[in-house]
Amino acid sequence: EIVLTQSPGTLSLSPGERATLSCRASQSVTSNYLAWYQQKPGQAPRLLIYGATSRATGIPDRFSGSGSGTDFTLTISRLEPEDFVVYYCQQYGSVPRTFGQGTKVEIK
Amino acid sequence: EEQLVESGGGVVQPGGSLRLSCVASGFTFSSYSMNWVRQAPGKGLEWVSYISSSSGTIYYADSVKGRFTISRDNAKKSLHLQMTSLRDEDTAVYYCARGFMGAIGAWGQGALVAVSS
């Protein structure tokens, strides 16, 4: 099983700042099949990034994904008020399709 | 509008059974793989099970293997999760989730399953 470790657990930033979220895999993710999701309180998650770098439909271009192998990053170039929520990474290249434990982005 | 609507959640005693259903609308259900993902109260996401568009490929998380069964009816645009031998740790919101390029591109609103005596 591939274990995904997200860091930091909580990220304290101000609106307008740049956010860098990390997702590290215990072994190489097949074909860089790595996705990022955003979850707002009381809502289902929403797909942001798939294939490590591709933005999903309707996702603002301030969200970008990078990385390969075992190290992946979600970058939010300039934080908007609605971005202060929880983010999860998931690998779907092997079974079981594991999620990271999440990173909460909070207002500083 | 694309929609996934879960039903069948509720309170069940340990060792009991429950069947979740999910009805899809607004897209060609038979063309997509589907998943169940759960989230325990205040916790992160846990992938539970996957079924391919034709039901030819099925996967389970180790935590539910042998106890849960995923199935689908493409004619009725529905997805199901039969859950048996339920444990306290199965308490969670269960999301019906549509595949997209291998990831999860759409989610239902979730169904709460509470295992409690």
Asked if the C-beta of A56 comes within 8 angstroms of chain B's C-beta atoms, the answer is yes
| pLDDT for B12 | 97
User: To the nearest whole angstrom, how far is the Cα of A37 from the nearest Cα of chain B?
Assistant: 9
| pLDDT for B107 | 98
| pLDDT for B91 | 98
Interface touch B47/A90, C-beta < 8 Å: yes
Mean pLDDT to the nearest integer, B14-43: 97
Mean pLDDT to the nearest integer, B91-107: 96
Interface touch A102/B108, C-beta < 8 Å: no
Instruction: List per-residue pLDDT tens for chain A, 108 residues long.
Output: 999 999 999 999 999 999 999 999 999 999 999 999 999 999 999 999 999 999 999 999 999 999 999 999 999 999 999 999 999 999 999 999 999 999 999 999
**For the segment A17-42, what is each residue's pLDDT rounded down to a tens digit?**
999 999 999 999 999 999 999 999 99
Asked if the C-beta of A2 comes within 8 angstroms of chain B's C-beta atoms, the answer is no
pLDDT bracket for residue B18 (50, 70, 90): very high
**For the segment B40-94, what is each residue's pLDDT rounded down to a tens digit?**
999 999 999 999 999 999 999 999 999 999 999 999 999 999 999 999 999 999 9
Interface touch A97/B100, C-beta < 8 Å: no
Interface touch A97/B109, C-beta < 8 Å: no
Interface touch B50/A46, C-beta < 8 Å: no
Q: Which residues contact B54 (CB under 8 A, 6 or more apart)?
A: none
Chain A residues with CB under 8 Å of B102 CB are: 33, 50, 92-93
Mean pLDDT to the nearest integer, B6-10: 97
